[in-house]
Amino acid sequence: MSKKDIKTRIDDFIEEKIVTEKLEDIVGDRFGRYSKYIIQDRALPDARDGLKPVQRRILYAMYKMGMGSDKPYKKSARIAGEVMGKYHPHGDSSIYEAMVRMSQYFKMGVTLVDMHGNNGSIDGDSAAAMRYTEARLSKEAEALLADIEKRTVPFIPNFDDEELEPTVLPAKFPNLLVNGAAGISSGYATKIPPHNLKEVIKATIEKIDKPNVSIDKILQIVTGPDFPTGAIVQGKEGIRQALETGAGKVIVRSKTVYEQMAKDQVRIVVEEIPYEVNKAELVRSIDLLRVDKKLEDILEVRDESDREGLRISIELKKGANADMVLNYLFKNTDLQVNYNYNMVAISHQRPVQMGIMEILDSYINHQKEVITNRSNFDLDRAEKRLHIVSGLIKMVDIVEEVIKTIRGSKNKSNSKDNLIKQFGFTDLQAEAIVTLQLYRLSSTDIDQLIKESNELDERILWLKDVLSDEQKLLSVIKKELREVSNKLGTDRKTLIEDEIEAIKIEKADLIADEQVRVGITKDGYIKRANLRSYTASKQPGLKENDGMLFNQEVSTKDTLLMFTTKGNYIFMPVYELEESKWKDLGAYINNIISIEKDEYIIKVFSISDFETNQYFLLTTEHGLIKQVLLKDFLVTRYSKTIRAMKVASSDELTSVELGPKSSVIVFTKRAQVLRFPSAEVPIYGTQSGGIKSLKIAANDKVVKAIYAATSDDFLVLTHLGNIRRERVVNMPLNKRLRTPITLFSERKKNPHFIRDVARLTTQQDKEDSMILVSCKKGSLEFPISELKPSVAEYGRAYVNEEEFGKALFINVDAPIENVEEQDILDAGELIQEVRAKKETKRKEPIDHASVEAPKDELVEDKKIHIKKLSLFDEDDWKE
């Protein structure tokens, strides 16, 4: 053979055998066929009987094997083999898994398979191998299969054309709604929850009686899903939307109770959990919250489920807020889940998203076909039987001749021919006569034949009425539905609640109230340590030349307010700070909340309660001052700095003081001091600026403004490290913007400048609180009792400048006691001062240190206007 001939033959072969097509056409065609198969014949249920093909084949195979609910169990392996060999040419594992699911009470609204042995558990345990378990049909499955032998549903050949299988089951109840369905195919998915059988049947009957019934009426009957695991469903609007359109969302919440363990200790007991939630995984996730210390109020979690029912015990610590813990568990575990309806089913060979109305219509139309087909089948049989009975009755009248004819015949066939020829019997009647047993010729059997004939006449008439009158047909459907409801119906397990309860959890509520040590340095390093770590190493870990600005024992439920030079503040709950060792450096402020490069923390406060009668006094270097209510600083979002006071770019916030309202003392760098009533300082919000507090020299600036009651002292820190303790009463009470007094003179060589001032109350003095002095190169701490008395103008030196550098801040480690507003003391003191002026006829200056306000003359400043009092002259006030 020549090369040319070989090439020609190859070309002919290619042209004959190889098809040239675009890849997208080939893939599209093949995938289209595959998609059609898995949509119609695998993953989605039929709207009429609510079954997927594999489920239908399992039930039909068991029915054909005679495995009724009153028959003995058979091995599951035998059933799976029968289904696989005759109807379902797929793996036995998929068949067995489908059979197991139909037997699980916690997955199905009503179980369709009655299984002996380990068929899995709500903890996610898999069933035993099919060789170990046994099964048979349940009563509910028998209701789905009833009358299937009466040609009620169409049959098609199986995969090898050797058997016939039903395309749908007769289904004596709306199984799609009762058992629900879940599946996913190509481009479609379905998720239908189980519903209560009694409610669904009642709604079906209502739809039969009133085809145009409203969705509201149906919702009064079918109130919502009825999960086999019970629990609580919230969201009536979601149920309405789902049953109306086929898509919607509800909340499924566990059913829980509280049990008292001790006087101040309870346990949460979970009695029912949401549908399809794995109980073992749920218990593990709850316990993990305890282990990870995300929910520290949980003492122990135990699964106490037994044959009596499900029970999960969550024991709480003493004093724990059970409602808060439960809400947290609802929000963060599967104790509460969302359930999203997607009611897709096969209707007329197409996947359709259907509401309850469409599903009920589909089922009712299916039942009309089933009852019609059954009635035709029964009518045909009844007419045949009546024909036979009529022949037998006729035969009784001529029994002697009939017997004689039969005896004279050669065989059965000849007997039939002779009977037909001589007496006019039909072939069917002749067959019945020749096969009749002689004992049936007794008088009793003749009476029974006459009775049977009458009954058959009535039945035929009734069947014809059913077939000709739709109302009678519908009445048959309703009657049979009621029978199924009475026989198989159960009470509702799931509780329906109209509204979805919103869960609001404050993170602070989850935090145990624990005392910790918090340290904040002047360079912006923050750390939180437990008291054990603090006791083990009281010296904090610091960077070189850094020092403590704040060092206090606080509660984890307290809030830190950190004020910066730019007029901003940082809102930081203590529990938000990561715990570290006291000797560690801590976290840098910019890693927590971003601040500007030239912005520094100047003051830190620990706040336990924002609703107390306290105020912040804020002052800038240029002398602008204002008061702000403490509660105005409470915020819910704190991911960045928040404005505390509007400060000009050329100015800086230099002083922040917290306390009950008293008189205000303002200090400048060059020791100028002015004391005046706090009533003269307006109360503004956090977004505004302030007003002028006093007249400042060009080369001076305000360094501090404090609240001070008459009984208080104050500590003045100079930049050279001296501390001077002074009584508040030694500072004359004046008016805002008046000329200040000089606290100490400014010497030409190595002068002292005021760097900071701290208020010292009688309570702090009595408790011997700690004084914290922050410097350029570190900090030092000592008790108030070490403040030795000094009459020196600049006080006593406490800071070694060579070791610590210039002094920066002074702080007293104790909160100001929460007392009532103390401006009244200042008003009383001012009254006494004016009285003293009158007594001395204005000849001698008033000694403020010696004047105290009498308690019986104290009046609230907001109800008094001092300049209008008659006990001193207007001119005295103006001076």
Q: Which residues are catalytic?
A: 132
475-501 in b/e form (b: 16+ CB < 10 A) is ebbbebbeebbeebbeebbbbbeeebe
Pinpoint the alpha helices (H) of 120-268: 139-145, 175-179, 197-209, 215-221, 236-245
Give residue 214's identity as a one-letter amino acid code.
S
How many alpha carbons fall within 13 Å on the CB side of residue 414?
7
501, two tokens: 């309860």
Element (H, E) at 330: helix 322-332
Q: Compute the distance between CA of residue 342 and CA of residue 182 in angstroms, rounded to an integer.
A: 9
| Residue 312 contacts residue 269 (beta carbons within 8 Å) | yes
Determine the Cα–Cα distance for residues 350 and 844; give it in Å rounded to an integer.
108
Q: Are 774 and 756 spatial neighbours (Cβ–Cβ below 8 Å)? A: no
Give 713-770 as a DSSP string.
Answer: EEEEEETTSEEEEEEGGGSPB--TTSPPEESS---SSS---EEEEEEE-HHHHHTT-E
List of E strands, 415-455 = none
What the block records as the tokens of 500 is: 């979805």
On whether the CB atoms of residues 633 and 561 are closer than 8 A, the answer is yes
For 778, phi then psi, to 5°, come to 150, -155
Contact indicator for 575, 507 with CB cutoff of 8 Å? yes
Residue 628 DSSP symbol = E
| Tokens coding 628 | 């702000």
623 vs 704: CA distance, rounded Å: 9
Looking only at the bridges linking them, the beta strands covering 232-234 and 495-497 are parallel
Distance from chain centroid for Cα 471: 49
Three-class SS of 550-585: EEEEEECCCEEEEEECCCEEEEEEHHHCCECCCCCC
- Tokens 């009920």 belong to which residue? 360
Q: Which two tokens stand for residue 562?
A: 């950190």
Query: Which residue in 480, 284, 464 sits closest to 364, CA to CA?
Result: 480
Separation CA 241–CA 224 (nearest Å): 11
Amino acid at 825: L
Give the strand order in the sheet containing 265-272.
Answer: 255-262, 265-272, 312-316, 298-303
Contact 301, 313 (CB under 8 A): yes
d(CA 646, CA 657): 17
Alpha-carbon separation of residue 219 from 230, 233, 236, 238, 244 (angstroms): 19, 14, 9, 12, 10
Length of the chain: 879
Backbone φ/ψ region at 471: left (φ over 0), alpha (ψ -120 to 50), beta:
alpha
* Cα–Cα distance list, 119 to 60, 99, 129, 254, 681 (Å): 21, 9, 9, 24, 78
Asked whether the beta carbons of 536 and 578 are under 8 A apart, the reply is: no
Q: Are 549 and 774 in contact (CB under 8 A)?
A: yes
Take residue 852 and report the two structure tokens written for it. Answer: 């105290």
- Report whether 694 contacts 623 (CB < 8 A): yes
Q: Give dist(CA 796, CA 590) in Å, integer.
A: 37
